[in-house]
Amino acid sequence: MIPSARLAAVSEYPFARWAVHCRAAVERGIDLIRLDIGNPDLPPPPAVLDVACAAMRSLATHGYPGYRGSSELREAICERYERRFGVSLDPDREVVCLLGSKEGIVHLQQAMLDPADPVLLPDPGYTPYADGAALSRATIVRFPLRAAEGYPPDFDRIPPEIARRAKAIWLNYPNNPTGAVAGPGAFTNAVDFARRHDLLLCHDAPYAEIRHDGKAPASVLQVPGAHEVAIEFNSLSKTFNMAGWRIGYAVGHPGAIELLRRIKSNVDSGMFLPLQRAAVAALATDDAWIDKRNAVYRDRLRLLAEACSAAGLASEMPLATHYLWVRLPMGEEAEPFALRLLDEVGVAVAPGSFFGPAGEGFVRLSVTAPTDRIREAADRIVAGSRLDRAAGRPRE
Ligand SMILES: Cc1ncc(COP(=O)(O)O)c(C=O)c1O
């Protein structure tokens, strides 16, 4: 079969390709520790399971669920935005439920981009921004997030003639893969930039609640007037350890929400009602549950950061997320390095090159494995560096 031109513009999702290497390693008898994909190992809040099971047993929940999410779920999303961010949303015009936020990220681009339309993407950045743009045959224009500056968006370095022609700009703070947070004024500048250039600002915020810097979670919609230019994606996958449930949502700009609804009504037929009821329970989770979970991530991040340092690999404790972004020794390429780690020490990490050209020379470690396995991975990384030194491979 020959793929359509739009499908030919993307390869298989890099983590799907990487999973093949992981499976092959396990088949060869390697006791593999998976730190490559950000797949939370800890359980969802207890109320979620009770509500989901009760809803599954009800015969009233098994029909088509409606297209845009139940009013109960959309209102629960609004309540959470009000409570966590002080942001007021209209549940009818400014909220749409998604089957995981990745789906919405790709569909919105199909709904708003025509072939050759420029779209501005952060580099490094989460892969579906580029995949969604490529599937629309849009023109991808990457702007660098610079390590030396703490990975902020630098709007002054985006050429105005490109910004003028572009339809949208993507941002993601707290950031995957770097763990950076948006600095003071970053969201205000982003809204201002989007308004000046008549762009849709697409902000992706699934890690908003996984912070390690003691600061409150932030939303781009806190900026006055942001609803007129910005849509924000969010998800239960990371916030409530519910990645497999596929529950996400988008909020903000009513016109963009309407486009998403329209395309999705032609593609999917809504979210299974027991999941929607469980989502309502999750969104009501108290902040202490989140703080406790984040403390577990911090302990694990410290273990791995120390191991990387002992192995001669530079990393910094992230201010947010469950990712450690690790710089490789000069001249090391990300994918061959990650493959060697997988084969020789049985630790799977994500090559930074999966996240765009600026990710080359880095790997990303996700602390979403049980703590004893993280400890074991840390030991193996240190032992592996001794192997490297013995083999004369460079370490700075
Ligand atoms: C930045 C970012 N956005 C969106 C997602 C997708 O999350 P979901 O599980 O809601 O599709 C991820 C998942 O890793 C992510 O890292």
Name the residue type at position 83. R
CA 364 centroid distance within chain: 13
3-state SS record for the chain = CCCCHHHHCCCCCHHHHHHHHHHHHHHCCCCCEECCCCCCCCCCCHHHHHHHHHHHHCHHHCCCCCCCCCHHHHHHHHHHHHHHHCCCCCCCCCEEEECCHHHHHHHHHHHHCCCCCEEEEEECCCHHHHHHHHHCCCEEEEEECCHHHCCCCCHHHCCHHHHHHCCEEEECCCCCCCCCCCCCCHHHHHHHHHHHHCCEEEEECCCCCCECCCCCCCCHHHCCCHHHCEEEEEEHHHHCCCHHHCCEEEEECHHHHHHHHHHHHCCCCCCCHHHHHHHHHHHCCCHHHHHHHHHHHHHHHHHHHHHHHHCCCEECCCCECCEEEEECCCCCCHHHHHHHHHHHHCEECEEHHHHCHHHCCEEEEECCCCHHHHHHHHHHHHHHHHHHHHCCCCCC
Mean pLDDT of 361-384: 96
pLDDT tier for residue 392 given thresholds of 50, 70 and 90: low
* Ligand 1 centroid distance, CA of 234 (Å): 8
Q: Which position has the token pair 């359980």?
A: 43
Please tell me the predicted confidence (pLDDT) of residue 35: 98
Q: How confident is the model at residue 385 (pLDDT cuts 50, 70, 90)?
A: confident
CA 133/CA 245 separation, integer angstroms? 25
Give 390's pLDDT tier (boundaries 50, 70, 90): low
Residue 389 Cα to ligand 1 midpoint, Å, equals 36
Q: Which of 237, 242, 247 to mutate to test the pocket of ligand 1 (most atoms within 8 A of CB)?
A: 237
pLDDT at 9 over 70: yes
Evaluate if residue 394 carries a pLDDT over 60: no
Average pLDDT over residues 114-122: 97
Q: Give the per-residue pLDDT at 184.
A: 83
* Structure tokens belonging to residue 252: 């903000």
Length in residues, the chain: 396
CA 391 to ligand 1 center in whole angstroms = 38
Kindly indicate the confidence band of residue 389, based on its pLDDT and cuts at 50, 70 and 90.
low
Spatial distance between the Cα atoms of 187 and 192, rounded to a whole number of angstroms: 9
Residue ranges lining ligand 1, Cβ < 6 Å: 38, 100-102, 126, 172, 176, 204, 206, 235, 237, 243, 248
Residue nearest ligand 1's atom 5 by CA: 102
Pocket test for ligand 1, best of 209, 235, 367 (most atoms within 8 A of CB): 235
| Other residues' Cβ atoms within 10 Å of the Cβ of residue 79 | 15
Q: Is the pLDDT of residue 395 over 70?
A: no
18-49 tens-digit pLDDT: 999 999 999 999 999 999 999 999 999 999 99
Per residue in 311-333, pLDDT (tens digit) is 999 999 999 999 999 999 999 99
Distance 360 CA to ligand 1 centre (A): 21
215 CA distance to ligand 1 middle (Å): 22
Reported as a pLDDT band with limits 50, 70 and 90, residue 384 is confident
pLDDT of residue 234: 98
% of the chain at pLDDT higher than 90: 95
What distance in angstroms lies between residue 102's CA and the mean position of ligand 1's atoms? 6
Estimate the crossing angle of helix 371-390 against helix 287-310, to 10 degrees. 20
Ligand 1 atom with the smallest distance to the CA of 37 is 14
pLDDT tens for each residue of 128-162: 999 999 999 999 999 999 998 899 999 999 999 99
Encode pLDDT of 269-285 as tens digits.
999 999 999 999 999 99
CA distances from 175 to 124, 178, 318, 351 (A): 9, 6, 10, 16
pLDDT for 193 equals 97
The pLDDT tens digits for 55-70 are: 999 999 999 999 989 9
Tell me the per-residue pLDDT of 218-265, one tens digit each, with 9 for 90 and over. Answer: 999 999 999 999 999 999 999 999 999 999 999 999 999 999 999 999
Q: What is the CA radius of gyration of the chain?
A: 21
pLDDT tens, residue by residue, 171-226: 999 999 999 999 889 999 999 999 999 999 999 999 999 999 999 999 999 999 99
Range 342-362 average pLDDT: 97
CA distance 273 to 206: 22
The fraction of the chain above a pLDDT of 70, given in percent, is: 97
